[in-house]
Amino acid sequence: MDKLSITGGQSLSGRLRVSGAKNSTLPILAGTLLAKEPVLVGNAPHLQDVTTMIELLGHLGADVVIDEKLNVEVSAKDLCQLRAPYELVKTMRASFLVLGPMVARYGQAEVSLPGGCAIGSRPVDQHLKGLEALGAKVVVEDGYVKAEAPNGLTGTDVYMDLVTVGGTENLMMAACLASGETRLHNCAREPEIVDLGDFLNTLGAQVSGHGTSTITIVGVSELKGGHYRVMPDRVEAGTYLIAAAATGGEVFLTGADPHTLGAVLEKLQMAGAEISSDDDHISLRMSNTRPQAVDIETSPYPGFPTDMQAQFMAMNAVADGTSTIRENIFENRFMHVQEMNRLGANIELHGHSMAVVHGVQNLRAAPVMATDLRASSSLVIAALVAEGTTVIDRIYHIDRGYETIEEKLQQLGGSVQRVR
Asked if 253 and 16 count as a contact pair (C-beta separation under 8 A), the reply is: yes
Q: Which residues contact 363 (CB under 8 A, 6 or more apart)?
A: 8, 317, 318, 343, 344, 345, 382, 385, 386, 387
Asked if 177 and 139 count as a contact pair (C-beta separation under 8 A), the reply is: no
Residues annotated as part of the active site: 117
- Report the distance separating Cα 62 and Cα 76, nearest Å: 4
Torsion (CA) 319, 331, 368, 370 in degrees, nearest 10: -110
Asked if 71 and 40 count as a contact pair (C-beta separation under 8 A), the reply is: yes
Q: Which residues contact 270 (CB under 8 A, 6 or more apart)?
A: 292, 294
Strand order in the sheet with 389-393: 368-369, 389-393, 3-7, 415-419
Q: Which residues contact 6 (CB under 8 A, 6 or more apart)?
A: 380, 383, 384, 386, 389, 390, 391, 392, 414, 415, 416, 417
Helices and strands counted in the chain (H then E) = 14, 26
Nearest of 7, 20, 78 to residue 49 by alpha carbon: 20
Q: Which residues contact 41 (CB under 8 A, 6 or more apart)?
A: 25, 28, 29, 32, 71, 72, 73, 74, 228, 230
Residue 212 neighbours by CB distance under 10 Å:
12
Asked if 110 and 324 count as a contact pair (C-beta separation under 8 A), the reply is: no
- Report the distance separating Cα 400 and Cα 122, nearest Å: 18
Paired with 137 in beta bridges are: 148
Amino acid 275 reads I
Q: What is the DSSP string of 344-355?
A: T-EEEEETTTEE
Q: What's the CA angle centered on 274, arms 272 and 280, to 5 degrees?
A: 135
